[in-house]
Amino acid sequence: MLRFFRSNSVVSRVIADETLIVPVRRGVGDLASIYSLNPVGSAIWSAISQPRSKVEIVQIIQEEFDADSAAVSADIDSFLAEMSTAGLVNSDEAGVAA
C-alpha cells in the first residue's frame, strides 16, 4: 500500500491559523519558495506527519470537514500531486495490499 509523508527537507510552522512550509536546500531555507496552506491543506499536512495511505488521509479529512468522499478524494489527489512535484511530500510502498 502506498503511504504518503512529509519530506525531511522542509520546515513547517502554523502561524495565525495558517500553515507555512519552507523547503530547505543545502541547509538553508528557500524563502523564495514558501508555501501557504488553506485549512484543508493544513489538515492534510497534519495527517501526513506520519506515513499514511490515501484511504487513511481521506477518512481523517472527511471526518474533520464532514465533506463528500469524492470531493475529499479529488482534493487530496491534487494536494499530494502538487506537493510531491514540489518535493514537499514523499511516498513509499509499505506491506502488501490486503
CA 97, CA 32: separation in Å to the nearest integer? 39
Backbone angles phi, psi at 43, to 5 degrees: -65, -40
pLDDT tens for 23-46 read 887 655 555 688 999 999 999 999
Which stretch of DSSP H or E encloses residue 32? Answer: none
Report pTM.
0.85
Domain spans, the chain: 2-87
pLDDT in tens, 80-91: 999 999 889 999
Count other C-beta atoms under 10 Å from residue 72's C-beta: 22
Pairing verdict, β 18-25 and 89-93: unpaired
